Structure 1
Amino acid sequence: MLRRPLVLAALADTAVPGLLPTQVQPMSARPGSPYQRVRVTGQDQRHWTVQSALTEAAGSALDQTQSLVRLLNGRLTVGLPHIAGMATGPEGTTVAVYPELPGAPLAFDELTPRSALARALGVTLANLHDLEPGVYEEAGVPSYDAEGYRARRLAELDLGAATGHVPAGLLARWERALEDVALWHFPTVPTHGSVDEDDVYVDGDDVVALDGWHVAAVSDPAIDFATLFLGATPDAVDTVIESYAQARRERPDTQFERRVRLAAELRLMTDLREASTAGDEAMVHRCAKALQRLEAQTQDDTSLTPPPPGPRSKPGAAVVDPEDIEVVDENPTTDDEDTLDLPVAHLHDDELDAADEPPAEESLIEDDLDDEELGDDELGDEESLVTDEEHPGTDEMPERGADEARPRRDTSSEQDPTS
């Protein structure tokens, strides 16, 4: 359950003594994310990100993430989310507070082919993947070899099939790819695990920060390109991958781009699983429709696993070239759409979840800190934390009782395929 931004601001004040919030604003997050985030402005006008775990597993991951970030500090040239304080609400909600990262989130659909920014993104991912795996192992994050990672993906496929919404054709397509041994001979590397648009912060032509390390693992480097593949144009993706390959100490394996595509397709199934676990029936319906269209579009596609040597295909047999696939938006209210190729990217649009779009600024008074009102209301607009006439001359948040201002909601995480 999502909490009112004001509640999270109050918890931030507990986590970081002296923060003294004066404003709070919701931040976007992809549907199914195991975290809720808000932007808090302190009395000294410093900006903070408050990240609230929506599941118990996500809360546990915050401590592990901070251990990893400490070890990555100095090894990567980009900014990282260094936690300044943590607090726990009465329902067990874990909240982490860290200074706002520099730059602004990158919109993948605005990434220009052959641009300096696209090349910078490739170099940033190459630097991450060139780290020694021992750094991750020291932080206690998961570490897989190629076979272990393949087994994990197979387990995820079983969980996706158990929802009853994944078409049989796609299950067979993905199972063939996961059982094609040629795809799974590669060295695993330290990965971010889920490079979404709101994780990459840019300033001009530079990547200046990376957020969202909760599913980091030593695993397949292709996983960090999945959302990029879905959200950016093919030419922009090519530029990023070209720059990445040139910057790596060792060139990517020959099957790397096939696994990028596989990871992109499986991302939709991951969204389906998370929506199903969270009980979000609207999102389950959207994911199911998108999977049905993807199955229709890939019936004759051999981009994941080429056919074995043999007679040529019959004249007229359709083969879909990955370069021809277009990502288009899915309209959840339209049932007669005929085409939607790899719609995962636009399943993360802000319009899908009211909590994703920061509303207009609004002033709140001290009475809004009542717990029962905060728990029942929907996400509020940007909120200004002020006192009434009983507190003249101060911007501090009003006094709170010991039981006030404590949050939560539930979603699934990608961290463990069996969870």
Structure 2
Amino acid sequence: MVRSALALAALATTAVPGLDVVATRPPQTANSDYQTTGLLDAGGRHWVIRAPLHPAAGAALEGEVALLANLVKEVDEGRLPFDVPRPVGFAALPEGGRAMAFRALVGRPLVLDRLTPGPGLSAELGRAIAAFHELDPAVVADAGLPVYDADSYRRRCLAEVDEAARTGRVPSSLLNRWEHALEDVALWRFRPTPVHGDLAPEHVLVTDGRISALLSLSEVHVGDPAEDLAWLLAAAPEDSLDAIEEAYSLARTEGADATLMDRALLVSELALARWLLHGVRHDEQPVVEDATAMLRALAEDVADAPGIGAHEPLVVREYDAAWAPDDEADAPHDADEEAEESQAAEAQPAQTEAARSEAARTAASESEAPADGVRPTEAEAPADGVRPTEAEAPAEERQLPDTEVAAGGQHGGAEGGPDRAAVTEELHLGTDLPDFLREDDRHRDR
């Protein structure tokens, strides 16, 4: 149930004995899962109280509390360059669950329009996300939060696409686009990492040009790092993306992930399908209509765009014969031709010096001269004395094959599908459509 700010303030005094609240302060927000209110105490200190609005959110908050105990250690030991909420007290709710009170963290919510090219806040953001992804996955797993390998995450996405398709509200062009990307095995060779799972401007605090804190960690899991870059791909200024991606890549110890941004593009598009499913599951018709309109707009935007992860085939021009020995070593040979060449070589007697001289005199005669009157010099002749036929000559242009795509058929919607009854098994970018998707319709072609 949604409470007034004063009611939440009263809960805060229960959670933190001796807390003397004198006023409410920002943030004061509520979505379908949580209600949050800022408070000011008599000593001038700022607090935040966060209360779940339904049992599933309450269960997720308990998982976050367990995670925060691990993350605080990572911050204090210098492995995270930003702070996280530090719970101080809890207040039981009459309907079940409990609210969490903590000291407000330093910083203001990120303003995406302030992200610029080059070093600065954009690079700081890329490094901060990379630092979270560099955490040991055990930090998340030990808190009892979900862990997905690359294939299980891919299959969950396929199940969501199937469920969205059954609504009849997703354009077929988008379904085909997503299915091709999800069936392209080359895109899904990544190492799972800790993932925030719900990054948005209001969940990233900034102070003095650096990232000072991350908030709302109830969606953390081990999975695809591309999830935490999708929101930036969809809404950040386009000229800031290179700086974010470069700083992120340099801060990752495992090296570059060649398909990271391709998967991030896919995740940003699937966020609209998840928004649609949220409306369908909760019978919220305005949400369904909003998501349907956005999906149609996206289908128009990407109608002429290449597929996700699609790359032009590489064409190698002017193939040099000097490369031939390495390539020909692996080339298939005709067994009959090899046998004939071997027999001919054995039947040919060795030439004596006199025979070679006689052959030279015979070749010099005019009756034996070639039609053009010009004979190749010894330097120009092939080492083996045999010139290739036209059929054996290397092609002037070779085209490399396209990246192999996994063969597949129809993906099963039921197999590997999510168990939506279990809170820790629900993987999404947030139950509410992020503000950057609602306010900014820039699902750009990457």
**Contact 1:5-1:25 within 8 A present in 2 as well:** no
Which of 203, 216, 219 is the matching residue for 1:215? 219
Whose RCO is larger (CA < 8 A, sep 6+)? 1
Question: Partners of 1:254 and 1:119 in 2: how far apart?
Answer: 19
Aligned mate of 2:124, from 111, 120, 127: 120
Shift of 1:222: 0.4
Separation (CA, whole Å) in 2 of partners of 1:293 and 1:181: 28
Q: TM-score, normalised by structure 2?
A: 0.66
Deviation at 1:86, TM superposition (A): 1.6
Partner residue, 1:60: 59
8 Å CA contact 1:5, 1:26 repeated in 2: no
Structure 1 residues 279 and 50: alpha-carbon distance in aligned structure 2, compared to 1, 3 A threshold: farther
Amino acid at match of 1:266: L
Indicate conservation of the 8 Å contact 1:191/1:216, yes or no: yes
What residue in structure 2 maps to residue 330 of structure 1?
Answer: none
How far apart are 1:53 and its partner, in Å? Answer: 1.2
Q: 1:111 to 1:309 in 2, by over 3 A?
A: closer
Q: Give the direction of change, closer, same or farther, for the CA distance of 1:284–1:25 in structure 2 (3 Å limit).
A: farther
Q: Deviations over 1:170-207 (max 9, x none)?
A: 12211211111111011111111121111110112111
Q: What residue number does 1:338 align with?
A: none
- Distance, in Å, in 2 between the alignment partners of 1:196 and 1:20 is 32
* Structure label with greater radius of gyration: 2
Q: Does structure 1 conserve the Cα–Cα contact (< 8 Å) formed by 2:229 and 2:264?
A: yes
Match of 1:272 in 2: 276
Who is 1:249 aligned against? Answer: 253
Give the structure 1 partner of residue 90 of structure 2: 86
Q: Aligned to 2:226, what secondary structure does the other structure show?
A: helix
Q: For residue 16 of structure 1, what is the aligned residue in structure 2?
A: 16
Post-superposition shift, 1:6? Answer: 1.9
1:191-210 paired onto structure 2 within 5 Å: 191-210=195-214
Shift of residue 159 of structure 1?
3.3
Displacement of 1:345 in angstroms is 5.4
1:153 is aligned, of 150, 157, 160, to: 157
Aligned mates of 1:144, 1:202 — CA distance in 2: 30
CA contact (8 A) 1:230 1:344 kept: no
Within 1, Cα distance between the matches of 2:35 and 2:282? 14
Displacement after TM superposition at 1:344 (Å): 6.7
The answer to whether structure 1 residue 38 and structure 2 residue 42 are counterparts is no
CA distance in 2, matches of 1:172, 1:344: 25
Q: What amino acid sits opposite 2:286 in the alignment?
A: A
Residue range with higher mean Cα deviation, 91-100 or 236-245 = 91-100
Offset at residue 162 of structure 1 (A): 4.1
Please say if 1:226 is aligned against 2:230: yes
Matched, 1:240 2:232: no
User: In 2, Cα distance between the equivalents of 1:25 and 1:164?
Assistant: 44
Determine the C-alpha separation between the residues in 2 that align with 1:62 and 1:20: 25
After the TM superposition, which residues 5-404 of structure 1 pair with which residues of structure 2 at under 5 Å, given as runs? Answer: 5-25=5-25, 27=27, 34-73=33-72, 74=76, 75-92=79-96, 94-306=98-310, 346-349=436-439
Q: Normalized against structure 1, the TM-score is what?
A: 0.70
CA deviations on 1:363-416 (whole Å, 9 max, x unpaired) are xxxxxxxxxxxxxxxxxxxxxxxxxxxxxxxxxxxxxxxxxxxxxxxxxxxxxx
Give the secondary structure class of the aligned counterpart of 1:225: helix
Deviation at 1:165, TM superposition (A): 2.8
Aligned residue for 1:304, secondary structure, equals: coil
Aligned-pair CA distance for 1:304: 0.5
Is the 1:8–1:50 Cα contact (8 Å) retained in structure 2? yes
CA distance in 1, matches of 2:270, 2:295: 10
> Residue 410 of structure 1 corresponds to which residue in structure 2?
none
Is contact 1:11-1:87 (8 Å) kept?
yes
Structure 2 counterpart of 1:210, one-letter code: L
The percent of aligned pairs where both chains have the same amino acid is 38
SS at match of 2:142: helix
Between the two proteins, the alignment pairs up a number of residues equal to: 318
Distance 1:29 1:252 in 2: 38
Separation in 1 of the partners of 2:256 and 2:181? Answer: 18
**Aligned CA-pair RMSD:** 2.5
Contact 1:15/1:87, CA 8 A, preserved across alignment:
yes
Q: 1:77 to 1:346 in 2, by over 3 A?
A: closer
